[in-house]
Structure 1
Amino acid sequence: MAYLAVRADDEVPVTIPRVPAREAAERELSKPMYQEHEPGLFQRVLDWFWQRIDDLLNAASGATPGGTLGLFVIVVVVVLLVIALRLRLGALRRGPAGGGTLFENRVRSAAEHRAAAERHAADHQWDQAVQERMRAVVRSLEERALLDPRPGRTADEAAAEAGRSLPGHADRLHSAAQDFDDVTYGGRHATADEYARLRDLDLDLERSKPLLGATTAGGAG
């Protein structure tokens, strides 16, 4: 197949074969003057993305009662629900509840943990005060042979084991372990009241006698 071209001098049509005509057109269009205003690859991808978003929103607004206004109302309601759930549930957990160990690497006595807890409480550092007081509780039970010293024990495990030999304090031990986990791994901040309850529990446990027949071996499981 051939193409007709018009000569500028006498306007007599000139027949040009298909292949040379295509090559000539490609050479002409490849000149920078035709491409300098073309968008780059990134711009074309960005335009394509926003076009897809626009198509999606148009389709959603068409299917939503009230059109675009109805879609906007739905989005606002969803955002408000997410905010309400966030406020209701509190800070998101950074790790699984009860998944972390109770003690740090350095071994300290119950008295040392109590002293550290009191120092933090005096400075109103309630998070650290609760953490150290819970460690004092568990270390004290280990020193009294009510719990077997066991590396890697969690606060929940210690509370469950201690509750078998001290059933009268089982609920308070469980609550104390939950407070420890929430503060240490859940991102929640402790309060002065929580520390006061934990301190009272520590003092009460010091005066408590274990249930007869309970053994640390059974508690360690």
Structure 2
Amino acid sequence: MSTTGGVNTARQLIRASDDVPVDTPRIPAREAAERELSKLMYHENDPSLLQRALDRFWDWLGGLFDAASGAAPGGPLGLFVVVLVVIALIGALWWRLGTPRRFPGSADSLFDDGPRSASEHRTAAEAHADAGRWNQAVQERMRAIVRSLEERALLDPRPGRTADEAAAEGGRSLPDHIDGLRAAAREFDDVTYGGRTADRQAYLRLRDLDLELERAKPQLTGAAQGAAE
């Protein structure tokens, strides 16, 4: 091959190499692509963060039920029967026990409005009873009992006192009626916090207890007996 031919061939190769793109390293190329794809124009139709979270939750819940249905005898039908049995048990317990009662010392104050006399509470209780509103009648009669004990100085007036506390404290001065006071407090708590429904007999029990307590003579404590002597 002549020198002139070799030079021409080399020149042609150089011109051809000018048209070949230069390879970009992999990491810078990936970073450039990420920067490009992060632009807002590519994400205008993306679901919101809340929608993505909901989608993941439903996917997780669906997977959970799928796994449970595969493990339950009878497949999905067996799982459905198990769920029905659990719901029935919960309903039976709720109906039998009611909402869990709140215990003494909590914020379940016996009086939820301004101060009223025992007579005013009795009048309100009778009005509710005449209208067949037994829950409200029971509540007002229990308030009348406690207010009457306060008016007779058998209980110290104290804001925030619960029905159970009033029954326990009142029973110290009227020990013969401690059982009746505790039963009245339970009745009050059941209709006020336990979701129970009172009836006429429940109200009459509290009314009779109220009348008995009005006639009952308190038992003096040791300190009171010494002062009386």
Q: Using structure 2 for the length normalisation, give the TM-score.
A: 0.69
Partner Cα distance (1:196, 1:169) in 2: 16
Tell whether 2:86 aligns with 1:78: yes
Residue number in structure 2 paired with 1:117:
125
Alpha-carbon deviation of 1:169?
A: 0.7
Work out which of the two has the higher radius of gyration on C-alpha atoms and give 1 or 2: 2
Q: Deviations over 1:116-169 (max 9, x none)?
A: 211111111212211111111112122222222222222111111111121111
Does the 8 Å CA contact 1:162/1:170 hold for their aligned counterparts? yes
Residue number in structure 2 paired with 1:96:
102
Ranges in structure 2 where 5+ consecutive residues have no aligned partner: 1-18, 225-229
The one-letter amino acid of 1:157's match is E
Partner Cα distance (1:103, 1:162) in 2: 16
Residue number in structure 2 paired with 1:139:
147
Tell whether 2:177 aligns with 1:169: yes
Structure (1/2) with the larger helix percentage: 2
Tell whether 2:221 aligns with 1:213: yes
Ranges in structure 1 where 5+ consecutive residues have no aligned partner: 1-13, 217-221
Tell whether 2:159 aligns with 1:148: no
Structure (1/2) with the larger strand percentage: 1
Q: Describe the shift of the 1:50–1:203 C-alpha distance in structure 2 as closer, same or farther (beyond 3 A).
A: closer
Tell whether 2:75 aligns with 1:67: yes
Does the 8 Å CA contact 1:142/1:148 hold for their aligned counterparts? yes
Q: Describe the shift of the 1:45–1:136 C-alpha distance in structure 2 as closer, same or farther (beyond 3 A).
A: closer
Over the aligned positions, Cα root-mean-square deviation in angstroms equals 3.5
Partner Cα distance (2:57, 2:209) in 1: 60
Residue number in structure 2 paired with 1:202:
210
Alpha-carbon deviation of 1:17?
A: 5.8
Q: Secondary structure at the match of 1:177?
A: helix
Alpha-carbon deviation of 1:192?
A: 1.1
Partner Cα distance (2:65, 2:192) in 1: 43
Partner Cα distance (2:20, 2:54) in 1: 43
Residue number in structure 2 paired with 1:9:
none
The one-letter amino acid of 1:154's match is T
Does the 8 Å CA contact 1:146/1:215 hold for their aligned counterparts? no
Partner Cα distance (1:111, 1:141) in 2: 12
Tell whether 2:197 aligns with 1:189: yes
The one-letter amino acid of 2:132's match is H
The one-letter amino acid of 1:120's match is H
Residue number in structure 2 paired with 1:10:
none
